[in-house]
Amino acid sequence: MIIPQSSHLQRLGEHIRHLVEPFTLERHEEAWLTARFLASLFLVIGLFLIFVMPFRYLTIEDSGHRLLSMGTSAVSGLLVLFTYWLTRKGYYRFASGLAVVYASLLIFVFTVVNAEGTHLRTLYYLMVLTLFGSLFLSSSVTVLIGLAQAGGMLILPQFVADLPLHEVVEGPLMFNLLLLFFLLAMGAYRGRLDAARRYRLAEMAARYRSLVEEVNDVVYSLSADGVVVAVNQAFETIAGWRADQVIGRSFTHFIHPDDLVNAREAFIKVLKGDTNQIFEMQVLTVQGDYVPLELRGTPHYVNGKLFGISGVARDVTRRKQANEQEFKYALQRERLSMVTQFVQAISHDFRTALATIETSRYLIERYVNLAEPNRIEAKLDVIRHSVMHMNDQLENLHTVSALVDLERIPCDINTLVEQVIFEHSVQARARGQMIVFLPNQYVPKIAADSGELHQAIKHLLVNALNFTPPNGTVTLRTSVSGGQVILEVTDTGIGIPEEQQNKIFNLFYRVDEARRLESGGVGLGLTIVKLVAEAHGGDVQVESQPGRGSTFTLYIPVEQSAA
């Protein structure tokens, strides 16, 4: 059964970890663990000597010994706390040596002043100090301390009357020297093992660095506060930044301003353990440009504590270029398909017109031989109509091609509408149709390409006339609203079914396919109207009901006033 820790215990643990963690050593170094262990040990011993040991000395009847013992314990505790502070500052080896030397002197002093005949037993505690020192000090320092202890034991009988020299030599001195020899042998053996281990680690690190530097992807490490800790050579290849220019700076310095919010959110998500997502953002190059990178990160822990993020970033410039190229190819295929449809439609339309011309020419030749002038005149009208139709189609093609480069000049839409009505009034009267124009005299001039806008108005009027029966009416009305000039073309024709109203502006689309041979055209008229409107920043809309006519509304924004 797992018992969850309370928040109080967690906070207590955090405080304790804060008290023993070194100030200066890097967390990824092995020395950091040693320093933290010694800091914990010295802190516990120091607090024990200051606050716990005095209670033991209170039981001593001799007040003189009691005060001396309590004072010695307090001074020892303060010295141990000083070694604790040195350890946290990073001087853990010096602190260990200082603690061993002080404890050795304390044992010698205690042996001299002890009157209970336990001198030899007390000297054996020096072995513990020698063993402790060998764990954290170098072999040479350990030997010096061991020899100093041996010298002190040889001198000690001169100050202690009931301590024979031969007992010291045969007892603690020989034991200490044997232990020192054993520690030196073990230290030499451990040194060889450590050297072999360091060699293997160095070899593995070299292989790892070589592998990391040779990969094409960026390998990076960030601290928990977003500072770049490490980055491989690939980042310089991709972005131009050297490692020394990047390490120590926040990763946000190299992110495009538009991606900063997403980058911070991604960083927090990865810190919380979300490693399944791939993030894409633009990274600043040394030239000041931006390169797209695809990043993946994983939380990085050291000694069970979150250190930061380690991950891989991949340059996706080529993939984006490939996607763009594929899009261009798809667009090109669509254009080719459109051109194919266009060529097929134009070819059919032109072949029909040319066939009509050739047939009429042949019949004229026969009628000339038969001297039938009435029929000749009729066929000449057919030829004229076909030639005019072909000219109209060529004019439509010119309109479409000219939309890429508009020549905007101040235009009066009322004047353009009157010109278009004048051009088609004869045709309307011939069919018994009436054209009504209701201009708004307060419509401002607009900055537009007058030729292209003329074509759009013409197609709206021709479309209305074509689908309005004889004796019907086509009404044109201009107005201004919301910064736009508006032209409405309303007819009393057959109307457009609702399901076809969204398609009539598509290229080559015709509501009544059966009318192709009768009225000609390839379905460009309303498409040209929409293209012209959009080229001017406007739009065209339709409202219609079958059997009740249609209303086409052209919107052109007033981009600038013109006198």
544 pLDDT more than 80: yes
Q: What angle do CA 283, 287, 290 make, to 5 degrees?
A: 25
Q: Is the pLDDT of residue 563 over 50?
A: no
Please count the other Cβ atoms lying within 10 Å of the Cβ belonging to residue 112: 14
Range of 96-100, 212-216, 374-378, 518-522 with top mean pLDDT: 96-100
Tell me: the pLDDT tens digits for 155-213?
888 877 777 888 888 888 888 888 888 877 887 777 788 778 777 766 665 665 555 55
Which pLDDT score is estimated for 484? 92
How much of the chain is helix, strand and coil, in % rounded to 5?
Answer: 60, 15, 25
Amino acid at 33: L
Q: What is the mean pLDDT of residues 463-483?
A: 91
**What local confidence, expressed as pLDDT, does residue 357 receive?**
67
Residue 414's pLDDT band, with cuts at 50, 70 and 90, is very high
Q: Are 542 and 552 in contact (CB under 8 A)?
A: yes
More confident: 262 or 31: 262
Q: Give me the residue label for tokens 């000395």.
A: 57
41 or 22, which is more confident:
41
- Does residue 9 come out as left (phi exceeding 0), alpha (psi in the -120 to 50 range) or beta? alpha
Determine the longest span between alpha carbons in the chain, in angstroms: 166
Which stretch of 46-60, 193-207, 463-477 has the lowest confidence by average pLDDT? Answer: 193-207
Under the banding of pLDDT at 50, 70 and 90, the label for residue 490 is: very high
Q: In this structure, which topology does domain 216-315 adopt according to CATH?
A: Beta-Lactamase (3.30.450)
Q: Is 270 helix (H, G, I), strand (E, B) or coil?
A: helix
Report yes or no on whether pTM surpasses 0.85: no
The CATH H-level (homologous superfamily) assignment of domain 405-563 is: Histidine kinase-like ATPase, C-terminal domain (3.30.565.10)
Residues 6+ apart with CB under 8 A from 433: 465, 468, 470, 471, 472, 473, 474
Listed range (39-43, 69-73, 551-555) with the worst mean pLDDT: 69-73
Task: Tell me the pLDDT of the chain averaged across its residues.
Answer: 77
pLDDT for 417-433, tens place per residue?
A: 999 999 999 889 988 99
How many angstroms separate the CA atoms of 184 and 42, rounded?
25
pLDDT digits (tens, 9 = 90+) for 327-349: 665 665 565 455 556 555 565 66
> What is the structure's pLDDT at 375?
66
Q: Are 22 and 87 in contact (CB under 8 A)?
A: yes
What mean pLDDT comes out for the span 83-104?
A: 87
Structure confidence at residue 561 as a pLDDT band (50, 70, 90): very low
* Plot region of 547 (φ>0 → left; ψ -120 to 50 → alpha; else → beta): left
Question: Which of 165, 179, 162 shows the shortest CA–CA distance to 125?
Answer: 179
Q: How confident is the model at residue 477 (pLDDT cuts 50, 70, 90)?
A: very high
Q: Taking the domains of the chain in order of start, what are their residue ranges?
A: 7-194, 216-315, 326-402, 405-563
Lowest average pLDDT, out of 156-160, 204-208, 247-251, 449-453, goes to: 204-208
Average pLDDT over residues 42-53: 86
Q: CATH 1.20.1070: does it fit domain 326-402?
A: no
Query: What percent of the chain has pLDDT above 90?
Result: 12
How remote is the C-alpha of 367 from its chain's centroid? 80
Same topology between domain 216-315 and domain 326-402: no
Going by C-alpha positions, the residue among 324, 213, 228 that lies closest to residue 284 is: 228
- Sheet with 550-557, strands from edge to edge, namely 434-438, 473-481, 484-491, 550-557, 539-544
Sort strands 473-481 and 434-438 into parallel, antiparallel or unpaired.
parallel
Do 448 and 556 form a contact (C-beta atoms < 8 A)?
A: yes
pLDDT band for 522, please (50, 70, 90 cuts): very low
